[in-house]
Amino acid sequence: MLMTAEYPQVNPSNHLNKFSTAVVPASAAQWLVQVLEEDGLPRADLLADTCLGHDWPGQPDATLTASQYQQLVTNALVASGDPALGISVSRQMNFLSRNGFWGYAVMSCTTLGDAVDTAIRYWPLTGSLMQVHKLETDEMTKVTLSPAFAFVQDEVWRFAVEKFLFSTLLSLGWMVDRTAAFESVWLSYSAPAHARRYQESLGCPVKFGAPEDAVLLKHDSLQWPLVTSQPQLTQMCRERCTQAMLRLLGNDAFIASIQEFIWANIQGPLTLDEIAVHLGTTSRTLRRRLQERGSSFQRILDGVRETVARDYLVNTVLSIDQIASLIGFSEPTTFRSTFKRWTGQSAAELRRLRKP
């Protein structure tokens, strides 16, 4: 039985459209330039056709657009001549510490499961080309990977997946001080020429040509304690991450707090009264504050549900009936008609955009 998951976005809009034009944190892209420069590749070659200045890699708090990041990765693949570049660079990266408060929030958690949830919740702060979701089954935890942008090219996507898999495996192993082998890995693309490196390093079955990109973990591994745990820092780091998310996505903090509560409880029926209790206010005050912002509880609820529904339809193999249940609709027919009202197209029509 599938249950609700954490979602990395705070802003309730279609991320496949929004994030194709919005900027992302530059830390991951800057780090890639740094590593490849140390390997002798010219900065000018890496930044070619990106419209990024020569001093951009050294700028603190820099950003770039999704298209610029994709061009940079394409340049890196060409300049390095390494089709397995995502694997090669992951061995040199400190994925956690180089991501500031996001990394510290993850490392300070008590268990591996807490760390996975925290990493996913604030994932956009990593400046990744992918989005990461978590789904629970009766026996396994499945972490799914999908492009954060509608136009990610195949070779760039493989680079992003490889970098995620191999850097994550190293990071998890370091946090739990043991071999944190995945139970299995599913990959949507065909086996590359260097497929043997997957099997040798990941230490688990790897299925190429799968319906989706995903990592499966056993439930009991999520109970492993972290040797890096510092519970006294966790809340402070999460607060800093929330603030960074708001700056990144341009949200009103009050609206964002409502959105996050809805995301965390999206599978069940939600009311304005519940939100008011959660925020420590009255329903009347909550309604007034929303009206002052030209919004309403129903508008925010619909926005979050629409975003999650779009995400599931495009990026998962869940049935439309399952999606309806996961976002709080007791009747699939109600979801189908409501989705058509939200978007002007049917859920089945949007589903055709799903990556094969």
pLDDT tens, position by position, 234-253 = 888 887 887 777 666 655 66
| φ, ψ dihedrals at 92, nearest 5° | -105, 0
Give me the pLDDT at residue 136, please: 79
Which residues of the chain register pLDDT less than 50?
Answer: 1-21
Give the other-Cβ count within 10 Å of 177's Cβ.
Answer: 12
The pair of three-digit structure tokens given for residue 131, joined into one six-digit string: 């989005």
Buried b / exposed e over 102-114, threshold 16 CB at 10 Å, is bbbbbbbbebbbb
Question: Which helix (H) or strand (E) covers residue 130, if one does?
Answer: strand 130-136
Predicted local distance difference test score (pLDDT) of residue 3: 31
pLDDT value of position 36 = 93
Is the CB of residue 237 less than 8 Å from the CB of residue 104?
A: yes
Count other Cβ atoms within 10 Å, centred on residue 340. Answer: 14
Tell me if residue 272 falls in helix, strand or coil.
helix
SS3 state at 64: strand
pLDDT tens per residue across span 189-230: 999 999 999 988 888 999 999 999 999 998 888 899 999 999
Superfamily of domain 252-351: Homeodomain-like (1.10.10.60)
CA within 13 Å, CB half, 133: 22
Q: How far apart are CA 71 and CA 74, in angstroms?
A: 5
> What is the 8-class DSSP label of residue 143?
E
* Sequence spans of domains, the chain: 84-223, 252-351
Please give the model's pTM, rounded to 2 decimal places: 0.68
Output the pLDDT for position 285. Answer: 93
